Chains A and B, each alone.
Chain A
Amino acid sequence: MKFAHLVWANLLRRKLRTTLTILSIVVAFVLFGLLCAIRQALVGGVELAGADRLIVRHKVSIIQLLPESYQARMQRIAGVDLVTHQTWFGGIYQDPKNFFMQTPVVPEDFLSMHPEILLSAEERKAWLATRTGAIVGRNTAERFKWKVGDRVPIRSPIWGQRTWEFQLVGIFEGREKGTDTTPMFFRYDYFDEVRQENWGRGLVGWYTIRVKEPARAAEIARLVDEEFENSPYETKTEPEGAFAQGWARQVGNITLIVAGILGAVFFTILLVAGSTMSQAVRERIGELGVLKAIGFTHAGLLALVLAESCTLALLGGGLGLGLAWLLTAGGDPTGGMLPLFNLLARDVLIGVGLAVALGLLTGLFPALQAMRLRVADALRRM
């Protein structure tokens, strides 16, 4: 620690160069933060999934519906705690670009199944009392400036030509920071009554099952699929996490793409910062010789150079992560396409780790070079 001022003085020797190097490291970490947030937006659903929840869908594909009567049959399977269902509504509010998900649900069961959806007691009561009532997440409510009491007209090409009018009775919050607050939920009884004009009465999209013991989830999933085997509506049951992961993977291997881009970014920055560090050491060979001559050990010089490169990397990394945090604090920049967009504390920690690694790597070769200096050679270069 007593040599901190020496490290500092060396960094200040060429202020412009130090500033430029730090700035390039800042850029790398801003990118790191943004890419982590994007990755979170695309695959984050997997981590938020409930360990005790299973999703049951039609075996052939999720667009095919299942009979509502399956609910009672699933409920009878040992180990099943609660069963709820949802159906893809595919509604359009004013313009197809204003996309957000809407599904009809049975309110009591649904709220009990999803404790991550926070609704006040009054709003809950209002929903149970209003047949055309709907609740919407904070994100979408703010996007369209809706307030409780508004009437929201929505058209759904799947369920006939009519325009559905929902009365907004509640705006829900997410229990966790990453909970998706873009969807809208409305009452299944209203939905089922109105859609009979067209088709689909008594059919639902998919089921969610809560199991009593998460450890038995896989076994219960198998029991459910066996129950409906050889019926006209065979099922595929999987844990909610696996279901979410399947969706994310349909988009592509996002984690791999993000890792690829970050690899290119850090490789680039490593080169820039590394070449600056080795230049800084080369310029001072004479001085380093003097330090050795007055008694600095090999290890001491190694530490001195590494401290310098780590200071650079941590300054840049800290600023970059801070900036990324500020940039992502506003949440989803696309207005609804990436509801889970946020920078997690875990990713910030990984970032700090990366900054240390970057500092050590960029300083390593110059530090070794400094350590191996022979005093006589070095002094001659003064």
Chain B
Amino acid sequence: MTTLFNWFSQVGSITKFGLLSIPQRRGAVAATVIGIAGVVVVLVGVLSIATGFRRAMAASSTPDSAIVLRSGADSEMVSGLGREDVRLIADAPGVARTTKGPLASAELFVIINLPKRSTGTDANVPLRGVERAATEVRDRLTLVSGRMFEWGRNEVIVGSGASREFAGLEVGSQLKVGRASWPVVGVFSASGGVAESEVWTDATVLQGAYNRGESFQSVRTRLVSPDAFQAFKDALTTNPRLSVKVLRQSDYYAAQSETLTRLITTLGVLIAGLMAVGAVFGALNTMYSAVAVRTREIATLRALGFGGGAVVVALMIESLLLAIAGGVLGGGLAYVAFNNFQAATMNWQSFSQVTFAFAVTPSLLLQGILLASAIGLVGGFFPAVRAARQPIASALREL
């Protein structure tokens, strides 16, 4: 018991000794800490793009909502459904109903060119034609300014993300669709969901403008409960009059965000991983020189009876603490710089823009600090072992 306590007190005093000497070598220490912070900023920054994009896609759906497309279609863009299909879908078992009828919205999805504010170049902005149930098959849709468009009139409302990212989408401005001009009458938010990237109008108005007759591209429904999905899906897929694909909205959006999220995550991890290797070399340098200037002190301690193990552990604690300081610094910087940073990118599956906010989540910060700790441990281990292994007699003789 006493030996264990003794060992801890040895580790404690060597660590304290090391930390107190930091001001004497503040240049090298600062370089290491800031270097590690740089790695963490890049890791957290890049991954926050993927997290934000995935979050925008995930925020778009609740477990009790479903989307129906033509079979074989991977996105609304290439799907097509007729009026009769829509009727059959809305009447299927499992669809929630109110006094106004089934909660199903048959929708049309096209894109329209509008200049992106940040670059001034054209971007594919999604323009969606919806039916009356549209706000009820989606959650938390609220108007933040202006009013709802009037059914049957050439008016549009725009998502807050679209209004922010693309030019000419403020309340009061006119949206040019072909040769016609439709007034923007309201701006809505959808708690960060993908609908915020879109411009909405009445589906029948859009069918007219695009010569789409009575055709739609998707039907979105709200189900009586999340468990009703299987029955709903089976009823539609076994119906010989229909040839459709039925998905939970959450699965649909997860599939759409998968490619991009995976690409960004892979790139982010690769870049940060390589940077981390570079930072390990930097940390090794710092700790080797920290050990080198203390050769005599360490030898003296060893001569006094301090254990080799205690020296190793103490030096590694010192390196770890420096690395964690770097990790916290980097995580904080990344949070300040990137959290809620508004951006828009191309969703290749739907061929259109999605606006989203970078998201620095606690789990990303934790990953950053873990990476920093790993750098610190690797960077501290070899110098610590070297320090502990030095022959005491010759080390004492050193300058």
Contacts and interface: CB of A to CB of B under 8 A. Distances in A.
Given A17-B289, A269-B278, 18 more contacts: A20-B284, A24-B285, A34-B271, A34-B274, A60-B112, A62-B124, A63-B77, A63-B110, A64-B210, A230-B179, A249-B116, A251-B346, A260-B45, A268-B278, A268-B282, A272-B31, A275-B27, A279-B27
9 contacts: A27-B281, A34-B271, A157-B79, A249-B121, A265-B38, A265-B42, A268-B39, A268-B278, A279-B289
| 5 smallest beta-carbon distances between A and B, as pairs | A272-B282, A27-B278, A268-B38, A275-B31, A24-B281
B77 to A, nearest CB: 7
Nearest to A30: B274
Interface residues of A, number: 54
Interface stretch (B66-74, B91-99, B186-194): B66-74
Contacts of B284: 20
Given A61-B110, A264-B38, A23 B281 contact: yes
Given A157-B70, A265-B42, A16 B288 contact: yes
A272 B285 contact: yes
Contacts of A27: 274-275, 277-278, 281
B22 to A, nearest CB: 14
Contacts of A63: 77, 110-111, 124, 351
B278 A278 contact: no
A371 to B, nearest CB: 19
A11 interface: no
A158 B78 contact: yes
B251 interface: no
Contacts of A30: 274
A108 B287 CA distance: 68
A368 B39 CA distance: 29
A59 B177 CA distance: 9
Contacts of B112: 60-61
A16 B287 CA distance: 12
Contacts of A242: 121
B207 to A, nearest CB: 14
B35, B116, B122: most-surrounded residue (chain A CB, <10 A): B122
Contacts of A23: 278, 281
B344 interface: yes
Nearest to B285: A20
Contact of A275 (B28, B122, B243, B259): B28
A164 B398 CA distance: 81
A250 B260 CA distance: 14
Nearest to A31: B274
Nearest to A337: B263
Interface string A15-57: 0110011011001101100110010000000000000000000
Contacts of A271: 30-31, 34-35, 38, 282
B111 A61 contact: yes
A230 B277 CA distance: 61
A218 interface: no
Nearest to A275: B31
A248 to B, nearest CB: 9
B34 to A, nearest CB: 6
Given A60-B112, A252-B343, A246 B31 contact: no
Nearest to B349: A96
B345 interface: yes
Interface residues of B, number: 59
Nearest to B382: A16
A276 B27 CA distance: 10
Given A59-B113, A60-B112, A62-B124, A157 B78 contact: yes
Interface in A230-278: 230, 232, 234, 236, 242, 245-246, 249-253, 260-261, 264-265, 267-269, 271-272, 274-276, 278
Given A261-B271, A268-B278, A275-B27, A236 B113 contact: yes
Nearest to A267: B38
B267 interface: yes
Interface string A102-121: 00000000000000000000
A69 interface: no
A20 B32 CA distance: 13
Contacts of A62: 111, 113, 124
Contact of B285 (A17, A234, A251): A17
A265 B282 CA distance: 13
Contacts of B39: 268
A261 B121 contact: no
B279 A268 contact: yes
Interface string A56-95: 0001111110000000000000000000000000101000
A62 B77 CA distance: 12
A265 to B, nearest CB: 6
Interface in B156-174: none
Nearest to A256: B118
A274 B281 CA distance: 13
A214 to B, nearest CB: 21
Nearest to B178: A60
A253 B119 contact: yes
B46 interface: yes
A34 B267 CA distance: 10
Contacts of B263: 334, 337
Contact of A250 (B35, B79, B353): B353
Contacts of B282: 20, 24, 268-269, 271-272
Contacts of A155: 72
B121 A245 contact: yes
Nearest to B127: A61
Contact of A251 (B38, B45, B78, B345): B345
Nearest to A99: B348
Contacts of B34: 268, 271
A364 B301 CA distance: 38
A327 to B, nearest CB: 11
Interface string B37-53: 01101100110000000
Contacts of A161: 72, 243
Interface in A139-164: 155, 157-158, 161
A121 B343 CA distance: 48
B123 interface: yes
A273 to B, nearest CB: 8
A54 to B, nearest CB: 15
A252 B113 CA distance: 16
A260 B343 CA distance: 15
A157 B285 contact: no
A252 B74 contact: no
A272 B121 contact: no
A299 to B, nearest CB: 26
Given A24-B281, A63-B351, A272-B278, A250 B78 contact: no
Nearest to A155: B72
